Chain A
Amino acid sequence: AQSVTQPDIHITVSEGASLELRCNYSYGATPYLFWYVQSPGQGLQLLLKYFSGDTLVQGIKGFEAEFKRSQSSFNLRKPSVHWSDAAEYFCAVVSMTTDSWGKLQFGSGTQVVVTP
Chain B
Amino acid sequence: EAGVAQSPRYKIIEKRQSVAFWCNPISGHATLYWYQQILGQGPKLLIQFQNNGVVDDSQLPKDRFSAERLKGVDSTLKIQPAKLEDSAVYLCASSFGLAATGELFFGEGSRLTVL
Contacts and interface: CB of A to CB of B under 8 A. Distances in A.
A96 B62 CA distance: 24
Interface in A30-49: 32, 41-46, 49
Contact of B100 (A41, A102, A109): A102
A109 to B, nearest CB: 5
Contact of A45 (B40, B58, B106): B106
A100 B99 CA distance: 11
Given A43-B108, A44-B91, A44-B104, A90 B99 contact: no
Nearest to B99: A104
Interface residues of A, number: 25
B4 interface: yes
Contacts of A106: 42-44
A41 to B, nearest CB: 7
B40 A108 contact: yes
- Counting contact residues on chain B (CB < 8 A from A), the size range is 20 to 34
A83 interface: no
Nearest to B41: A108
A72 B55 CA distance: 29
B100 A43 contact: no
A27 B91 CA distance: 26
7 closest Cβ contacts across the A-B interface?
A: A43-B106, A106-B42, A104-B99, A102-B100, A44-B106, A102-B98, A46-B103
Interface of B: 3-4, 33, 40-45, 48, 55-56, 58, 91, 93, 98-101, 103-109
Interface of A: 9, 32, 41-46, 49, 51, 90, 92, 94, 96, 99-109
Given A9-B40, A94-B99, A100-B58, 13 more contacts: A43-B3, A43-B91, A43-B93, A44-B104, A51-B101, A94-B100, A100-B56, A102-B98, A102-B100, A103-B45, A104-B33, A106-B43, A109-B40
